[in-house]
Amino acid sequence: MSHKENHKETILIIGAAGGLSNILCGLLGQHSPESKIIGVDSRDLSSDVENKNFSFKKMRYTRGNFEKLFRENEFDVIYHLGRMSHSKNTSASEIAQRLSLNLMGTNKILELSIRYKVKKVIVLSTHHVYGALPDNPVFIKEDAGLKASIKYPELRDVTEMDSLCTNWMWKYRDQMDMVVLRPCNIIGPQINNSISQYLRTNLVPAPIDFNPIFQFIHELDMAKVLMHSKDKVPTGVYNVAPNETISLHEAKKIVGTTTIPFPVFLLSPVASVIKKLWAFPDYLIDYIKFSCIIDGKQLMTHLPEEPFRFKTTKSLKLLKL
């Protein structure tokens, strides 16, 4: 038997302390039981991972730490889920740290992936890179411009990270497979992002004269997409969204939380007052004013039939406290 046949797949998950990673590890344990999984994060592991082949290392995302990690392990697949979130107000030093992680850290990870002959890198981006703009098309395709950073500096690092990964993907497509995923709003019991907080919170502002349309994907369905991306999805950039859409007011109604209705032009000043009670990123206001609906058909061609188990209504009902 050859060395290749003996070789057990080794997977690195960057950002392994998050809820999405936890679910992904459980799925990989079921579908790839022989795979060895190493998870790293700058945060503590929040809950136990159901995978006997999983090991966790808390580390700072520095050049030296990543070099040591790659030197000591032979990674076949890398999941880059380590983008720092924008779910709270951030100080200048936190923004600097986030830029460092999302841009310099990502660049280093990609450099090491080429040097150590990693077979595949899967990067979690976000539909936020397109921006919430009044002239957005009804269904935004993957080749649309990334306009999020035009108005909001706090989305600049996310947009630049996406562009960096996309450029690497095409430049090194002969040496490494790479998948960049841009999901719609991910929601679920283990996810605590900005939109989940908005949906769960009472007395948040909402436009009275406009009812924007949203897309939601349940955390388990998103983890399944990540799992399938390892073996079934070829190199490329993919939007991730179900066909279903729902209005903002209907979504809040299903979750069972209340809003403070205001005319659109008053949303921003009202939000600045509410932010003293509940911290949320500035860009969220535009995403509840303007629809940002993505076209997920391209990814569907590579996934098993009926890849999304959770209907939108069920996903929202599961958010109830």
The full DSSP string for 270-294 is: HHHHHTTTS---THHHHHTTS---B
Bridge partners of residue 58, in order along the sequence = 41
Q: Is the CB of residue 128 less than 8 Å from the CB of residue 148?
A: yes
| The pairing of beta strand 204-207 with beta strand 213-214 | unpaired
The pLDDT tens digits of the residues spanning 125-150 come to: 999 999 988 888 889 999 999 988 77
- Both tokens of 86, joined, read 């924008």
Residue with tokens 């999020």: 148
d(CA 95, CA 70): 27
Tokens standing for 126?
């976000």
Instruction: Quickly tell me which residue has 């430049």 as its tokens.
Output: 171
pLDDT at 130: 94
Torsion of CA 23, 46, 238, 286, to 10 degrees: 130
pTM of the model: 0.92
Grouping H, G, I as helix, E, B as strand and the rest as coil, residue 182 is strand
Counting residues of the chain whose pLDDT is more than 70, the rounded percentage is 90
User: Residue 262 in contact with residue 203, Cβ under 8 Å?
Assistant: no
3-state secondary structure of 262: strand
Q: What is the pLDDT of residue 96?
A: 61
The 3-state DSSP class for residue 207 equals: strand
What structural domains and CATH numbers belong to the chain? Answer: 3-188+216-243+293-307 (3.40.50.720)
Please write the tens of the pLDDT for every residue from 152-206: 777 888 898 999 999 999 999 999 999 999 999 999 998 888 899 899 988 888 8
Write the pLDDT tens digit of every residue in 57-77: 999 888 899 999 999 999 999
Nearest to 124 by CA among 286, 239, 242: 239
Q: What is the mean pLDDT of the chain?
A: 87
Buried b (16+ CB within 10 A) or exposed e, 104-125: ebbebbbebbeeeebebbbbbb
The confidence score (pLDDT) of residue 124 equals 96
Count other Cβ atoms within 10 Å, centred on residue 161: 24
Q: Which pLDDT tens digit goes with each residue over 193-250? A: 889 989 998 888 888 888 889 999 999 999 999 999 999 999 999 999 999 999 999 9
Quick one: how many helices (H) and strands (E) in the chain?
13, 13
CB 283 within 8 A of CB 154: yes
41's enclosing H/E stretch is strand 36-41
- How many angstroms separate the CA atoms of 37 and 34, rounded? 9
Query: 3-state DSSP: the chain helix, strand, coil percent, rounded to 5?
Result: 40, 20, 40
Q: What one-character DSSP code corresponds to residue 129?
A: G
Q: Following CA atoms 98, 215, 288, 254 in sequence, which dihedral angle do they give, to the nearest 10 degrees?
A: -120
Task: Evaluate whether 179 touches 122 at the Cβ level (below 8 Å).
Answer: yes
- Cβ–Cβ under 8 Å, residues 296 and 242: yes
Q: What sign for the dihedral angle of Cα 154, 156, 161, 166?
A: positive
| Neighbouring C-alpha atoms within 13 Å toward the C-beta of 208 | 8
Rounded CA-CA distance 105/82 in Å is 10
Q: What is the 3 state secondary structure string of 153-191?
A: HHHHHHHHHHHHHHHHHHHCCCCCEEEEEEECEEECCCC
